[in-house]
Amino acid sequence: MRRLYKILLLPLLVVNVLAALLLVCCAYSPLISPEQFPLLSLAGLAFPWVLAANVAFLVAWLILYRRYMLVSLAAFLLCFSQIRAFSPINFGKNNPPEGSIKLLSFNILSSNLTASNANKDNPIITYLEASGADIICLQEFPFQPLKTNKQAKALLADYPYRSYLVSGMSEADSRYLCCFSKYPILDVEHFDLNSTGNGCARYHILHDTDTLVVYNCHLQSNSLDDTNKNIYEQMLTKPKESLKDEGLKVLVKKLRDAASLRASQAQTLLADVRKQTSPYVVVCGDFNDSPISYSRTLFAEELDDAFVQSGNGPGISYNRNKLFYRIDHILHSQSLDAYRCAVDRSVQVSDHYPISCYLKKAK
């Protein structure tokens, strides 16, 4: 009977082995350049779902036949660093030491602050006022309404050093990269990254006697319209039907092309990071890429991920159309230590949640 029981479990074991192999493939897909193999590079998007499937197998084998748990356990061991990048667990990093700098990054979605509501209390400005951040990096920030918003005057008074840069768009579009700082901004350089509506700004910020180099990034958007997003939702709820939809090819093409552009942008920015003489470097912003992606992994080869070092859980930062990924990141040089990195999901006024952390010079 025991032998028969094991035979009956074999089909389930085969599926488990396939799921484990798929998890490893997804985990290591960021090593593949989207410029060379764009479709393969998208495998990282499936990582959370394949990971969940392997966890389900682990639980099932715990009940059915414990020896077969080794399949998923082996996959978890091989993918440990990627699992930690996706959903870290940290203890003892919740209390930032005295003298730490709080940095906040937030894609506010430009339509949330317009000339029509310039004289009204705005929840985004209210949040920024109460954040207590020393340096605020914003993406998709429309500067023109800010000039006429009465509530913003108090915010601007708290941050005497500011920079506004159009990120690859005409001034009429008013989609800016902005930095509000309590410390002097010595100079600013803008990288347009050959993209419409995206870009990066680099700030040299004086803190005490040291220069902090901060990159405020908005990497290539996927440019998904409502039709594309509906197809993605259908993939999750009705996968068989979605495979027959011609719109799926359009969705995959958009994701593929955007990933390829982000790869090039990340390479450009990383080359500039390596030129910096200051040991204190921070790269933050809307990467439009998950933790299991080429662009984020490329930065992580040179910099530490603040969320991985001091955050907890998956830290989902995008909140629309079931595209539940952490696509906003803060990375920093090893001469800085990160504390209490968190995605604030209580701020539901944009399609992104803000991400923040405390940074302190390493001893």
How high is the pLDDT of residue 313? 96
Cα–Cα distances in Å, from 236 out to 137, 256, 314?
33, 19, 19
How high is the pLDDT of residue 94? 84
How high is the pLDDT of residue 9? 84
Find the radius of gyration of the CA atoms of the chain: 22
Pick among 3.40.50.300, 1.20.1050.10, 3.60.10.10, 3.40.50.1820: CATH of 104-225+231-361: 3.60.10.10
Structure tokens at 280: 């204190």
Show me where the domains of the chain are located: 2-86, 104-225+231-361
Strand ranges, E, within the chain: 101-107, 135-141, 161-166, 176-181, 185-191, 199-207, 210-218, 280-286, 304-305, 328-332, 336-343, 355-361
In terms of residues, how long is the chain?
Answer: 363
Angle between helices 69-78 and 47-64 (to 10 degrees): 150
How high is the pLDDT of residue 154? 76
Q: Which of 185, 106, 113 is nearest to 143 (CA)?
A: 113
Using CA atoms of 77, 84, 325, 339 in order, give the dihedral in degrees to the nearest 10: 180
Q: Which of 129, 108, 169 is nearest to 317 (CA)?
A: 108
How high is the pLDDT of residue 241? 56
How high is the pLDDT of residue 116? 53
pTM metric for this prediction: 0.91
Query: Are residues 110 and 174 in contact, defined by beta-carbon separation less than 8 angstroms?
Result: yes
How high is the pLDDT of residue 236? 58
Phi, psi of 14 (to 5 degrees): -60, -45
pLDDT in 10s for each residue of the chain, 363 residues: 567 667 778 889 999 999 999 999 999 999 998 888 877 878 999 999 999 999 999 999 999 889 999 999 999 999 999 999 999 999 888 899 999 999 999 998 876 665 555 556 778 888 998 999 999 999 988 766 666 667 777 778 889 999 987 655 555 555 678 999 999 999 999 987 887 678 899 999 999 999 999 999 999 988 776 667 666 666 655 655 555 556 677 778 888 888 999 999 999 999 999 999 999 999 999 999 999 999 999 999 999 999 999 999 999 999 877 778 999 999 999 999 999 999 999 988 888 999 999 999 998
pLDDT tens by residue, 236-277: 556 555 555 566 777 788 888 889 999 999 999 999 999 999
